A = this chain, B = another copy of it.
Amino acid sequence: MVNIAILGFGVVGSGVYEMIKNNKAVLTETCGCEINVRYVLDIRDFSSHPEAEKFTKNIKDILDDPDVSVVVEAMGGSHPAYEYTMDCLNAKKSVVTSNKEVVATFGKTFLSCANQNGVSYLYEASVGGGIPVLHPLLKCLSGNEIVKAYGILNGTTNYILTQMFKNQKSYESALREAQEKGYAERDPRADVEGIDTCRKICIISDIAFGGFVDPDAVHTEGITAVSGEDVSYAESRSCSIKLLGYTKKREDGIVVIVAPFMVSKDFILSNVDDVYNAVTIHGNAVEDVTFCGRGAGKFPTASAMVGDIIDIVNNTAGKNREFGRKDVKVVDYKSEPFSFYLKLSGSCAGIEKVFENCKVLSASDSSAVIITDKTTQSQVEDKVKNASLKIERLIRCL
């Protein structure tokens, strides 16, 4: 029997608890032994829970019990998740988490600490919910040199964008609906401003390229500025607009961007709608592989965490691949070439001379909407400045 503890009995923590109960037979077969939840830590009162005796408010109960070998951190937030995680690792207990905030911020410390203590720190559920993404990247694809990775990493914003496309809703009314359905928080900023996506693409980038990217240093645009006009122009070009986290290796470092992208229907990501997530990884041997599924939710998230627990119990996790083991420079995002959707104001009569080989979607004397040839944002800004134009809207194209 393997004894585990669950920190936090909210949606995710209770999902792990219930999944272990519901799938007991499967787990016992897969692990060759029973997985037993010995403790659940939560500051709230669960004295009327059928297994009330398992609940504790004191982390010391868990730290001091030598029979607990795996701790599931499902508290969310940075504190006390950080302190509890460090305490557990130092007590030589492996930790499994869904908490992207702590992984993106403290992952380097955790992974190094876990290796020092000979235990595992696994965080599959922190990116893409139930979708196996990090494990395939760390294991199956690890013979590849990773070239780039990008994905729809936030279900809330994908739901909102899908509503704007499929049902012609405004951003505001789509957000309201997402809130009513429980897909968006009352304070939706972490989602709609791209902060959640940023944490996740940083984690992917850290695994793929071995650096340790500070989420605060990543150029992050949300979806709050996406307009009905953008949607119409995208549709006219057989594109969707998707909030992507994007990371790519270059000679001079890596580029990391979070922003809405126009995504052509030729990409699988373009057809990944509603609360679904999807990540495409491009390795130099495998080329593009894409992983899709539910990026959040009680049981999908629990599925990823239980998969990590199994890896630890079966002793197949291996040594933790540390973040920041390489000196990886994050280069200026304005130097990364894309094709750009631009809405410009000013004297636009000669726009095709300013942007050679651009596609003009609409133009008048005082404004223009164009798709540029592949160029960089720096070059776009130079051209716009030289022509005394102004950028009203800029969206990258995938």
Residues of A within 8 A of B (CB): 15, 19, 22-23, 26-27, 30, 124, 130-132, 135-136, 139-145, 265, 268, 271-272, 283-294, 297, 299-300, 302-304, 306-307, 309-311, 314-319
Contact = CB atoms under 8 A, between A and B. Distances in A.
Contact of A291 (B272, B290, B294): B290
A365 to B, nearest CB: 40
Contacts of A314: 318-319
Contacts of A135: 135-136, 139-140
Given A290-B292, A303-B285, A310 B130 contact: no
A155 to B, nearest CB: 13
A311 B287 CA distance: 20
Given A15-B285, A287-B297, A289-B291, 11 more contacts: A19-B143, A27-B143, A132-B140, A135-B135, A141-B307, A144-B303, A284-B299, A286-B293, A286-B294, A288-B294, A315-B318
Q: Of residues A22, A139, A299, A318, which shows the largest number of chain B Cβ atoms within 10 Å of its Cβ? A: A139
A310 B143 contact: yes
A104 B27 CA distance: 25
A287 B292 contact: no
B132 A285 contact: no
Contacts of A317: 316
A98 B306 CA distance: 29
Q: Of residues A144, A272, A291, which shows the largest number of chain B Cβ atoms within 10 Å of its Cβ? A: A144
Q: Which 5 A-B pairs have the closest CB atoms?
A: A143-B306, A289-B293, A132-B140, A286-B303, A130-B286
A293 B318 CA distance: 26
Contacts of A315: 318
A285 B23 contact: yes
Nearest to A135: B140
Contacts of A130: 285-287, 289
A280 to B, nearest CB: 9
A135 B290 CA distance: 15
Contact of A309 (B15, B143, B297, B304): B143
Nearest to A210: B29
A303 to B, nearest CB: 4
Given A19-B285, A23-B285, A143 B307 contact: yes
Contacts of A19: 143, 285
Contacts of A290: 290-293
Given A26-B145, A318-B315, A140 B304 contact: yes
A26 B326 CA distance: 12
A268 to B, nearest CB: 6
B292 A292 contact: yes
A139 B310 contact: yes
Contacts of A292: 268, 289-292
A30 B132 contact: no
A145 B23 contact: yes
Contact of A141 (B141, B297, B303, B318): B303
Nearest to A130: B286
A73 B132 CA distance: 27
Nearest to A128: B289
A7 to B, nearest CB: 19
A386 to B, nearest CB: 41
Nearest to A315: B318
A288 B284 CA distance: 28
A26 B144 contact: yes
A283 to B, nearest CB: 6
Q: Of residues A284, A286, A291, A311, which shows the largest number of chain B Cβ atoms within 10 Å of its Cβ? A: A286
A292 to B, nearest CB: 4
